């Protein structure tokens, strides 16, 4: 049986990509230059793919601004559940565009994030919690709720 991708999800994905293109055009050239080459995706020693610093990143620097799609949790399932953020309430999920969904977890993260509303829609803003060396893998903390939602029920 082939997996079925709901049409509304594909439409939302297309809208998100369109928003990302518009946001990219609106970024100041200097801001784009500062963030250029900040993230490289490669094999992680922790799990699958990981996000690595493409250059040295100073504490507090914005690493990436990721447009997000907000979906109802019932519309997100399977493997995608491992790549979403919690939204405004327990039934909403955020799908980050760009490299934002490829950062692995650490209980001692070097990256923080927050959600920012912009004229084109919400963005997940990733920033350095400390200086990050070129080539170093970048991590954020997924939070207790993420881990507890994936624990097997006890009998």
> Per-residue pLDDT tens for 6-33?
555 555 555 555 555 555 555 544 454 4
- Provide the pLDDT for residue 93: 79
**Predicted structure pTM score:** 0.67
pLDDT per residue as tens digits for the range 31-52: 544 556 689 999 998 888 999 9
Which residues lie below 8 Å from residue 142, measured CB to CB, with a gap of 6+? 105
CATH number (3.90.100.10, 2.170.270.10, 1.10.3720.10, 1.10.10.1100) of 7-146 reads 2.170.270.10
Listing DSSP states for 81-116 in one string gives GGGEEE-SSTTEEEEE-GGGGGPEE-SS-SEEEEEE
Could you give the C-alpha distances from 49 to 103, 104, 150, in angstroms and in order? 8, 8, 20
Structure confidence at residue 101 as a pLDDT band (50, 70, 90): confident
């Amino acid at each position: 049986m082939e997996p079925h991708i709901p049409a509304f999800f594909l439409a939302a994905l297309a809208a998100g990509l369109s928003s990302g293109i518009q946001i990219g055009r609106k970024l100041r050239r200097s801001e784009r230059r500062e963030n250029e080459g900040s993230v490289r995706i490669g094999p992680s020693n922790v799990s699958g793919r990981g996000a690595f610093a493409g250059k040295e990143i100073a504490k507090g620097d914005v690493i990436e601004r990721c447009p997000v799609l907000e979906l109802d949790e019932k519309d997100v399932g399977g493997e995608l559940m491992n790549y979403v953020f919690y939204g405004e309430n327990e039934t909403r999920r955020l799908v980050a565009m760009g490299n934002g969904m490829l950062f692995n977890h650490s209980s001692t993260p070097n990256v923080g994030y927050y959600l920012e509303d912009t004229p084109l829609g919400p963005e997940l803003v990733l920033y350095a919690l400390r200086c990050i060396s070129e080539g170093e893998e970048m991590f954020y903390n997924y939070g207790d709720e993420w881990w507890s939602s994936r624990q097997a029920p006890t009998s």
